[in-house]
Amino acid sequence: MQQWHFPLENGSDFRVNIWDFGGQEIYHATHQFFLTKRSLYLLVADSRKEHPHLDYWLNVVELFSDSSPLIIIKNEINDRPVQIDETQLRGRFDNFKASFATNLGTQRGTEEVENIIKSIKYHISQLPHIGNKFPKTWTKIRAILEQDNRNYITLDEYLHICYNNGVTVSRENPGDGHLILSQFLHDLGIILHFQDDKKSLLYKTIILQPNWGTDAVYKVLDSNTVKRNLGQFTDRDLSQIWQDSEYNNMQGELLELMMKFKLCYPLNNRRGVYIAPQLLDSNPRQYEWNPSDNLFLRYEYDFMPKGILTRFIVEMHHYIDEPKVWRSGVILKRDNTFAELIETYDRREIKIRLSGTNKRGFLEVIADKLDEIHRSYERLKVKKMIPCNCSACKDSQTPHFYDFEKLRQRLANNKPNIECDKPPYNEVNVLNLIDDTIGRDKFIQKQTEREPNINYHIHNSQVQINQGLGAMEENQNKPIKVKSAWANGSFYLFVFVVVVAGIGFLGNQLAFPAFCVVVIGGILFVPIIGALQLKQDERVKDETFLELMKMAIGQLPLIGNVLGKVLNPSSKSEDE
């Protein structure tokens, strides 16, 4: 990191921290920690070579930095023009603000350089956080930390600085304001302070010189010893790599920093041995695979940032079936279930294949972790692809895949089936597709969390979706049937109370034989009301309703006998 100062119109000093990102692929995994929305990005395109990575860097800046402004500098060496389709780039990337052509190796065109600097100053001054006012104590503490030439200090020392500069703080229970300040300075790239785990060494350490931390990390990745061992290194190797005095007694913190950046993981069964997956062998490992009754899932990316699979490998390392891991693939094992994940970067996809006794349960763990990684990229566009389970695809290693989001939309629009794209073009049930891969219960849970205004109900292997007014669009020409407000059973309770009250009232008005008839008839009258309610609610068919009415009325004194003789004259003759 370098600093650049220039005066503002009001005479105050404006300071810019300049970071130069390493272009090597090995460094790409750390970019997400430094590409922030509080920055202006300069992308230098060189006329000495083609620009296959120009599109990659534009996407990376847009993805990680929440569309922070970007300027392209065309470095025209030997005054050879740099050919870039800027019209197309402006149509695709809203954050592409300007481009300038110059020759950085000569004194060509002082006006060109002045225009570049003028544009840089303007776009920096327009960043959202510029001009924000902060407490004087914050400004004072920031100045003290920036003037400190040490590479790092302890959290206690940081809290002591806060206390000495008018900020009351308890060392046993530091207040939120001090952590907010350190997080703010972390976001600006002024310091590094990782706060997500209060038991970690990094939480207890304030790195004052971010370059010191990142340089230490890159020393490991650039080590010839680590490269020759295809990414494997030991505690002893780290002692040699970090033997300079500036790293004394900080090996634990720096190793934790590498793990924080998802650059390495410890081997499960060998203490003090670590793997940097970016340096693994690029050739796939040899292994046997049972191709019968496999379960598949696939992810497809509009733009695929580098490092997704290696980050996944680090976070899921405890499942790795050693030594079956390479730079673009890994075999995981849980109990008697195996999972194969292969990244094909040129095709922007990750394929997952599982075999064993609990495929869906293990797939759920894998998919949840990948979805978590995807969510860390706020603007990442990724499709989850579900395999077909028709007769032509079920036992195939190359089934047809469906976009999960489109399957979800079909269910939301009451389209229960979809056609397979492979001959003989079988029609398959959408819910069964989801159930085979994700599980319907998990699907219902996720969708209700995602869209609380939509209720998914399972009935006999089908999903019924209630989504308010939106669900009526397809059925707007059908008459709307209003259900009774008593459909929950309250009506039956009401009738029963009325009948009991009536019987109590008539008890003093009628002779005992007549009173008995009223009691029996009143009690049997309740099922008749219930049958009528069921018919109104369309919970019984017409035939069933008539049968219920016959049964209920048949139990009424006198009326039942008369009705029975009318409806069954044959039984009368037999009795006679």
Which amino acid is located at 225 in the chain?
A: T
pLDDT at site 448:
57
227 pLDDT more than 80: yes
549 pLDDT more than 70: no
473 pLDDT more than 50: no
Whole-angstrom Cα Rg for the chain:
36
Q: 7, 21 in Cβ contact below 8 A?
A: no
pLDDT at site 541:
55
Percent of the residues in the chain that have a pLDDT greater than 70, as a whole number: 70
Q: Between these two residues, 37 and 377, which has the higher pLDDT value? A: 377
pLDDT at site 485:
41
pLDDT at site 27:
61
pLDDT at site 256:
95
Percent of the residues in the chain that have a pLDDT greater than 90, as a whole number: 42
| CB-neighbour burial class of residue 428 (10 A; exposed 0-12, middle 13-18, buried 19+) | buried
pLDDT at site 498:
67
569 pLDDT more than 60: no
- Name the DSSP letter for residue 192: B
Identify which of 360, 366, 265 has the alpha carbon closest to the alpha carbon of residue 322: 265
What are 140-149's contacts with CB under 8 Å, separation 24+?
140/165, 141/165, 141/167, 141/181, 142/181, 142/185, 142/190, 145/185, 145/190, 145/191, 145/206, 145/208, 146/190, 146/208, 148/208
Taking the C-alpha atoms of residue 183 and residue 196, their distance in angstroms, rounded to an integer, is 11
* Two tokens, residue 532: 């009528």
557 pLDDT more than 90: no
**Domains in the chain, please, with CATH?**
2-125 (3.40.50.300), 388-475 (no CATH), 490-575 (no CATH)
**Cβ neighbour number for residue 381 with a 10 Å cutoff:** 12
Supply the mean pLDDT for the chain.
80
Taking the C-alpha atoms of residue 204 and residue 568, their distance in angstroms, rounded to an integer, is 92
Q: 277, 327 in Cβ contact below 8 A?
A: yes
What CA–CA distances, in Å, run from 319 to 110, 307, 332, 362, 478? 59, 19, 5, 10, 54
Following DSSP, what letter does each residue of 214-237 receive, concatenated? HHHHHHHHT-HHHHHTTTEEEHHH
Least confident of 74-78, 288-292, 485-489: 485-489
pLDDT at site 119:
92
pLDDT at site 466:
47
Stretch 68-73: mean pLDDT, rounded? 90
Q: Between these two residues, 394 and 545, which has the higher pLDDT value? A: 394
* Two tokens, residue 517: 């008839």
Sign of the CA dihedral 94, 95, 96, 97?
Answer: positive
Taking the C-alpha atoms of residue 146 and residue 142, their distance in angstroms, rounded to an integer, is 6
Q: Between these two residues, 293 and 485, which has the higher pLDDT value? A: 293
pLDDT band (50, 70, 90) for residue 461: very low
576 pLDDT more than 90: no
pLDDT band (50, 70, 90) for residue 297: very high
Identify which of 85, 96, 58 has the alpha carbon closest to the alpha carbon of residue 305: 58
Which amino acid is located at 265 in the chain?
A: Y
pLDDT at site 387:
96
Stretch 55-61: mean pLDDT, rounded? 84
pLDDT digits (tens, 9 = 90+) for 493-542: 566 666 666 666 666 666 666 666 666 666 666 666 666 666 565 555 55
In degrees and rounded to multiples of 5, residue 263 shows phi and psi of -100, -10
pLDDT digits (tens, 9 = 90+) for 178-191: 788 888 888 777 89
Taking the C-alpha atoms of residue 168 and residue 160, their distance in angstroms, rounded to an integer, is 10
What CA–CA distances, in Å, run from 182 to 175, 198, 363? 12, 14, 39
pLDDT at site 19:
77
pLDDT digits (tens, 9 = 90+) for 344-392: 999 999 999 999 999 999 999 999 999 999 998 878 999 999 999 999 9
Identify which of 154, 178, 155 has the alpha carbon closest to the alpha carbon of residue 166: 178
| CB-neighbour burial class of residue 134 (10 A; exposed 0-12, middle 13-18, buried 19+) | exposed
Sign of the CA dihedral 281, 286, 291, 294?
Answer: negative
Full-model pTM:
0.72
* b (16+ CB within 10 A) / e for 33-52: bbbeeebbbbbebebeeebe
Identify which of 150, 156, 148, 274 has the alpha carbon closest to the alpha carbon of residue 212: 150
Stretch 560-568: mean pLDDT, rounded? 51
Q: Between these two residues, 173 and 510, which has the higher pLDDT value? A: 510
